[in-house]
Amino acid sequence: MKKVYLSALALFVAMVFWVSFALAAPVLHMDVEGYPSGTDYIEVKPCDTFTIHMWVSEVPEPGLIAWNHDLVLDPLVEVVDVHIKDPFIGEGKIVDNELEMGGMILVGDPVFGTEVSLANITFHCKGYGETYLIQDWHFPIAQNFVLADLTSIDQDLGFPGTEGFSPPSIRVNQVPIPTTLLLLGSGLIGVVGLRRKIQG
């Protein structure tokens, strides 16, 4: 009877460990600076800039030591700055229509927990229209996230994505300045100029 209890206890412990490991799958996020977390639609004017904070949640121990990831770009936006967050050391570069990014911890401890910052990316809007910024795998086969015990996480990584896309994406609507405001502004300038001419 004692063996049955011990076997049941061992099975229970194994199930708890498996469930806790399954629940600890990392999730990749993209947040727009100045907007609530999880915002997937923003409106900006042409020539404006906006910044995206890329981070990963639920990183299990022994912690993250390296990552590589891409962001698919659109001709309507251009990258102004890529800042890989400490303690990672890395860079971002444009290849074709993608921003390729990566970071590695060369000195210091691996990072884990509920929010691990990866990078801040600043964009400049070039014209009118609507575009998507979509996360993409860095390599079709190579690993994108590496833990300190050299465990790799790639296709098992969870994604809170927008409808129609498996990875997280942000829809950017570049809104033109309404023509009525332009007309009103030019009319006011004309009135001021006319008044000065009459007074002079």
Round to whole Å and give the CA distance between 91 and 108.
18
On whether residue 198 sits in a domain, the answer given is no
Q: Which residue has the higher pLDDT, 20 or 39?
A: 39
On whether residue 197 sits in a domain, the answer given is no
Specify whether the CB–CB gap between 101 and 92 falls below 8 A: yes
Q: Which residue has the higher pLDDT, 134 or 119?
A: 119
Domain span at 167: 26-184
In whole angstroms, how large is the CA radius of gyration of the chain? 24
What's the confidence (pLDDT) of residue 65?
A: 92
On whether residue 105 sits in a domain, the answer given is yes
On whether residue 95 sits in a domain, the answer given is yes
Residue with tokens 């993209």: 30
CATH number at residue 47: 2.60.40.680
Q: What are phi and psi of 87, to 5 degrees?
A: -90, 10
Round to whole Å and give the CA distance between 131 and 136.
15
On whether residue 41 sits in a domain, the answer given is yes
pLDDT at 141 over 70: no
Which tokens in the block code for residue 42?
């923003």
On whether residue 199 sits in a domain, the answer given is no
The total of structural domains in the chain comes to 1
On whether residue 194 sits in a domain, the answer given is no
Geometric angle at alpha carbon 38, from 74 and 103, rounded to 5°: 65
On whether residue 12 sits in a domain, the answer given is no
Average pLDDT, the chain: 75
Which tokens in the block code for residue 141?
């086969």
Q: What are phi and psi of 33, to 5 degrees?
A: -60, 130
Residue 126: exposure state from Cβ atoms within 10 A (0-12, 13-18, ≥19): middle
Q: Which amino acid is at 9?
A: L
Q: Is pTM beyond 0.75 here?
A: no
